[in-house]
Amino acid sequence: MIWLFVFIIIDTQILKDIFTMKTKKLFLIIVPLIVIGSYFVIPPSGNSIITSGQTMSDSTKHAKGDNMNTKVVKTEEEWKKELTPEEYRVLREKGTERAFTGKYDHFFEKGVYKCAACGNVLFSSDSKYNSGCGWPSYWTPLAKDKIILREDRSFGMVRTEVLCARCGSHLGHVFDDGPEPTGQRYCINSVSLQFEKTEDTK
């Protein structure tokens, strides 16, 4: 009981000192506490925070979609809405069009071939040749970073699959039986491509 009485006296004395403290000293204590507390409650104005419930602005979306160096990521439902059933089967489900039926098999106009899903420029007519395999064939892509090569063990075979580096869509396969100078044959589905005519291709 004696210790409790002493604690009450001390505690009362502390409260008395606080309430009798000069205004200047009280101001010097309270203001820093407010400033420090507000730093943790209000994020700095220079940072931009996007939570899971927010989305990017329309201008940011537009810039991302137009930049060919950025990845295109969409849900399969979105791809189904944008692609035809045959395009979806080949590009997204890794299907193969029937040999000698593609529109670009015996097509040799000057231009470039883009990914039918995202518009990524993949091949040039300068590297296209008639391999006789039934699908458009190229001895090199326009640039190595335009495509992704991946081992494919489907159907009991070991092949090298060719994918669009921008959207990950299936294009075809590459084989080591092509002409010089690469010795490779990029065997690509016509439905995976979109031709664009140009006056001068390099």
Instruction: Please give the Cα distance from 88 to 74 (Å, whole number).
Output: 13
Q: Which of 173, 186, 106 is nearest to 138 (CA)?
A: 186
Instruction: Please give the Cα distance from 31 to 114 (Å, whole number).
Output: 62
Which tokens go with 159? 């092949």
DSSP 52-80: TT----HHHHHHHHH-TTS-----HHHHH
Residue 125: DSSP 8-state = G
Q: Which of 115, 118, 167, 187 is catalytic?
A: 187
CB 188 within 8 A of CB 195: no
Active site residue 187: yes
Catalytic residues: 187
